[in-house]
């Protein structure tokens, strides 16, 4: 009598982690092919793994120059990995299910709920439809503007290819570019068309699809949700403050903004305020920035963009709730209130947990890297924070990392994209509900 094989059942967090890992594996195998690069030789396993992880996790840290090392096939593989990684593999799977009119099961809806960071499965498929519509529409508009602008300096077919690649990369906050020479947008610092289009794509990709959907319904609903209000206000404040501080620090720096006129200074500062959360696009030489500016970028990279978006970091809402809790404590108030609405205690604890987990990961990885790779600590910390926030900004350390260092940074990118809490939930053993609560004790804080 044949023995029954137990059926493996994975939780939604486990499915997400396995799904992203599978995409990284497929991308690694494709990028290793000699047909994927200009040299015609297989890319070393560690370099292919690092590049695939960076693309799937929409980070943008690279070991080889995407624009000159990979050919059209390799760049297309990277572009597809960015799209699937940015929107989420479950979102893309739902797209195929909708196209082929397949039923979306409750289990699929639960995974989508986890992927989109939603409180319930109600309306999740409708949200996914909107995600796909908004994403493809915004990317198409971005690609068209890029194409028309770049057609002045290259053949139209090449301008179209560049436009599509960079629109997908920037909207998904990936930061990959194919301009060559690791140059990103440094040739377009004072070009308002290229800079404004890039900012539009980065910001819209980083706001989160819930906010985009809310904004689309504003004409009918006449009001925004609390989530959208917090995201939009926090995003606006961070962009404004970041731009002002960068202008103050870099105004006369000849290596960055000092060589441009007022317009170039403003566009350069604005992009560098937006990009660390978490696009990885730069229009100035990051190595020439003052250390104070680099430290500001570190903070912005840690905060990241918003929940349910293509970006990483601890997220703007996590940052806002934590600051709100601090202000409430300083004022002697029990509740954290935003826009006349109280924030639940469990959400405050979740925000603090995410921040502490993020700090713990960044500090731990930076310490290990500083022990095994003999590099300046600021370079290591910048690279680690960029990986955790899935940003992609670099001070040039990535190609110089040891094999173990590359693996460690790749794993940090993976953790940053999947989400620390999601990974914790995926790895922890299943436990039943708590049967009792311990008596409350008192300790002195502060």
* Mean per-residue pLDDT, 149-177: 93
Residue 47 binned pLDDT confidence (cut-offs 50, 70, 90):
very high
Confidence of residue 164 (pLDDT cuts 50, 70, 90): very high
Distance CA 195, CA 265 (A): 12
Cβ atoms 98, 130 nearer than 8 A? no
Give the whole-angstrom CA distance, residue 167 versus residue 380: 29
- 305, 341 Cβ separation under 8 angstroms: no
Flag the least confident range among 245-249, 387-391, 420-424. Answer: 420-424
Confidence of residue 334 (pLDDT cuts 50, 70, 90): confident
Q: What's the chain's length in residues? A: 446
- Average pLDDT in the chain: 85
Mean pLDDT in residue range 11-33: 84
Task: Check residue 2 and give its pLDDT.
Answer: 43
Question: Given this model, what pLDDT does residue 132 score?
Answer: 82
Token readout for 114 is 């986890």
The per-residue pLDDT for 4 is 45
**Residue 337 is inside which H or E element, if any?**
strand 336-338
Average of pLDDT values for 323-327?
Answer: 93
Q: Give the confidence band of 6 by pLDDT, cuts at 50, 70, 90.
A: very low
With a cut of 80, say whether residue 113 has pLDDT above it.
no
- The percent of residues in the chain predicted with pLDDT above 70, rounded, is 84
Residue 283 scores a pLDDT above 90: no
* Reported confidence tier of residue 294, pLDDT bands at 50, 70, 90: very high
pLDDT higher than threshold 80 for residue 115? no
Rounded to an integer, what distance in angstroms lies between the CA atom of residue 357 and that of residue 374? Answer: 26
Q: How far apart are CA 272 and CA 279, in angstroms?
A: 10
**pLDDT of 5 above 50:** no
295 DSSP assignment? H
Q: Helix, strand, or coil here: 194?
A: helix
What is the pLDDT at residue 200?
A: 93
Are the C-beta atoms of 52 and 85 separated by less than 8 Å?
no
Compare 134 and 36 and report the one with higher pLDDT. 36
The pLDDT of residue 121: 56
Confidence tier at 435 by pLDDT (50, 70, 90) = low
pLDDT bracket for residue 412 (50, 70, 90): very high
Burial class (CB in 10 A: 0-12, 13-18, 19+), 12: buried
Looking at the predicted structure, is the pLDDT value of residue 443 above 80?
no
Residue 30's pLDDT is: 95
> What are 210-265's pLDDT values in tens digits?
888 888 888 787 788 898 999 999 999 999 999 999 999 999 999 899 888 898 89
* Coil/strand/helix, residue 397: coil
Q: Does 278 score more than 60 pLDDT?
A: yes
pLDDT of residue 429 exceeding 70: no
Is the pLDDT assigned to residue 422 strictly greater than 90?
Answer: no
* Position 350 pLDDT exceeds 50: yes
The answer on pLDDT for 362 being more than 80 is: yes
Return the bridge partners of 70, or none: 37
336 strand-pairing partners: 343
Q: Give yes or no for residue 428 having a pLDDT over 70.
A: no
Q: Between these two residues, 441 and 21, which has the higher pLDDT value? A: 21
pLDDT computed for residue 1 by the predictor? 39
Q: Best-predicted range by mean pLDDT among 76-90, 164-178, 298-312, 408-422?
A: 164-178
Kindly report, residue by residue over 176-205, the tens digit of the pLDDT.
999 988 888 888 988 999 999 999 999 998
């Amino acid at each position: 009598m044949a023995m029954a094989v137990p059926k493996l059942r994975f939780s939604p967090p486990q499915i997400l982690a396995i799904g992203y890992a599978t995409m990284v594996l497929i991308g690694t195998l494709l990028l290793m092919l000699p047909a994927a690069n200009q040299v015609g030789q297989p890319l070393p396993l560690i370099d292919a793994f690092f590049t695939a992880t960076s693309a799937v996790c929409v980070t943008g840290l690279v070991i080889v120059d995407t624009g000159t090392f990979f050919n059209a096939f390799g760049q297309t593989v990277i572009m597809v990995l960015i799209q699937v990684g940015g929107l989420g593999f479950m979102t893309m799977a739902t797209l195929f299910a909708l196209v082929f009119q397949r039923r979306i099961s409750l289990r699929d809806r639960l995974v989508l709920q986890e992927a989109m960071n939603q409180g319930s499965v109600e309306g999740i498929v409708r949200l996914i439809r909107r995600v796909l519509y908004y994403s493809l529409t915004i990317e198409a508009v971005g690609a068209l503007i890029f194409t028309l602008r770049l057609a002045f300096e290259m053949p139209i077919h090449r301008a179209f290819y560049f436009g599509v690649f960079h629109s997908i990369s920037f909207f998904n906050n990936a930061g990959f570019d194919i301009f060559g020479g690791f140059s990103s947008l440094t040739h377009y610092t004072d070009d308002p068309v290229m800079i404004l289009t890039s900012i539009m794509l980065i910001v819209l990709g980083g706001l989160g699809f819930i906010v985009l959907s809310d904004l689309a319904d504003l004409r009918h609903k006449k009001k925004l949700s609390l989530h959208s209000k917090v995201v939009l206000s926090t995003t606006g404040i961070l962009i404004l403050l970041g731009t002002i501080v960068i202008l103050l620090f870099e105004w006369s720096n000849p290596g960055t903004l000092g060589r441009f006129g007022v317009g170039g200074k403003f566009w350069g500062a604005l992009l560098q305020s937006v990009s660390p959360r978490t696009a990885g696009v730069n229009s100035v030489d990051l190595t020439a920035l003052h250390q104070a500016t680099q430290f500001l970028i570190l903070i912005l990279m840690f905060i990241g963009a918003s929940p349910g978006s293509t970006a990483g970091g601890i997220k703007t809402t996590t940052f806002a709730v934590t600051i709100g809790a601090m202000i409430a404590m300083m004022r002697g108030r029990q509740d954290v209130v935003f826009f006349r609405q109280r924030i639940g205690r469990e959400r405050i604890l979740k925000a603090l947990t995410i921040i502490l987990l993020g700090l713990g990961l960044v500090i731990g990885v930076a310490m290990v890297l500083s022990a095994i790779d003999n590099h300046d600590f600021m370079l290591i910390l910048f690279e680690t924070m960029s990986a955790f926030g899935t940003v992609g900004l670099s001070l040039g350390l990535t190609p110089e990392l040891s094999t173990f260092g590359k693996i460690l940074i790749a794993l940090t990118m993976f953790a940053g994209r999947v989400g620390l809490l999601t990974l914790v939930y995926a790895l922890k053993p299943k436990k039943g509900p708590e049967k009792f609560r311990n008596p409350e004790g008192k300790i002195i804080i502060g």
